Amino acid sequence: MKKYLLLAVALLLVGAILVGCASEPTSVLDKIQKAKKVSVGTSADYPPYEYVDDAGNKTGFDIELMEEIAKRMGLELEWVDMPFDSLVAAVASGKLDMSISCFNYDEERDKTVDFSEAYYTTEDAFVVTSAFSGTIVAPEDVAGFKVGVQSGTVQDDWLTTNLVTPGLLPEANLSRYERVDQAALDLANGRIDVLMGDYVPIQALVAQNPDLQVVYHGELSTGPINIVLPDGDTALKAEVDRIIKELQAEGFIDQLAVKYFSE
């Protein structure tokens, strides 16, 4: 009797979820233009792309870029900070209008959301401490060590697909972290030997900690970074892409890169 009741409740929950999922296609562009407001998600724990200054204000490459885009769309920007893992789901379920958080294009993500044109290109990097005694020439060489990565990132995917699944890197030697700074801590105390991440924030880490050094950087999993948009809203994508092209042509983005990425 108890089993049937449990089943009934489970069905009810699933039903509620399905109702939630069955969304009628609404134009987000229409909605935000009417409200004159756009809510944008980011995970502000990722300097120099998005982070908080001493006063607690959001700042960074992505932040300033998005603020300019919103300005050119004539919209008031409402930032919503969320853990990185939750951002895609939030856009997919309509909780956010879009998200900028150093996203790389990813097929899995593309199933539930759309991507803008690339607004910048990044690289991957592997970073170790000065205590590291191994040799890493090619990226696959990291398979011999304990590796850390931020979970849900394209670096995570790259490591899993190219090293873990073929059996080169044992699953137990791959540590996933919610945030890069957590991984950096474990790198410093020796729990992991190598950290794989986006080159730019890793450079920021290295700048603050002379004990760290980058042993390799290049385009492996990364490359272009994009803004995450709601699935199927072609009008919104067209508008955002247009502004990105404008900003690139004006040199605005290059200026931001100089401001945030040079040492």
Partner 1 sequence: MDFGQFISYIASGTVYTVGVTLIALPSGLLIGTILALFYVYGGKVAARVMNLYSTIFRGIPPLVLLFILFFAVSKGINLSAFLAGSLSLGMVSSAYQMEIVRGALLSVSGDQLMAARAIGLSRLQAIRYVVLPQAVRLAIPPWSNEAAIIIKDSSLVYALGVPEILRRAQLIGASSQKYLLAYLSAAIIYFLLVSLTTRLLNRLENKLSIPSHP
**Is 101 or 173 the residue whose CB approaches partner 1 more closely?**
101
What is the rounded distance in angstroms from the CA atom of residue 154 to the CA atom of residue 149? 10
**Bridge partner residues of 103 (DSSP):** 226
**Is 13 or 35 the residue whose CB approaches partner 1 more closely?**
13
CB 159, min distance to partner 1, A: 22
CB 86, min distance to partner 1, A: 6
What is the rounded distance in angstroms from the CA atom of residue 120 to the CA atom of residue 252? 12
User: CA of 55: how far to CAs of 52, 67, 155, 213, in Å?
Assistant: 8, 18, 31, 30
**Is 60 or 139 the residue whose CB approaches partner 1 more closely?**
60
User: CA of 134: how far to CAs of 78, 94, 150, 176, 215, in Å?
Assistant: 46, 47, 22, 21, 11
- Residue partners of 163: CB distance under 8 A and separation at least 6: 140, 142, 143, 147, 169, 174
CB 190, min distance to partner 1, A: 17
**Is 53 or 76 the residue whose CB approaches partner 1 more closely?**
53
CB 226, min distance to partner 1, A: 21
CB 130, min distance to partner 1, A: 18
What is the rounded distance in angstroms from the CA atom of residue 191 to the CA atom of residue 180? 14
Contact, 152 vs 106, CB < 8 A?
A: no
**Is 180 or 225 the residue whose CB approaches partner 1 more closely?**
180
What is the rounded distance in angstroms from the CA atom of residue 47 to the CA atom of residue 52? 8
CB 60, min distance to partner 1, A: 9
The residues binding partner 1 (CB under 8 A) are: 1-2, 5-6, 9, 13, 16-17, 19-21, 23, 41, 44-47, 51-56, 80-83, 86, 89-90, 93-95, 179-181, 185, 205, 208-209
User: CA of 171: how far to CAs of 1, 27, 139, 145, in Å?
Assistant: 42, 42, 17, 11
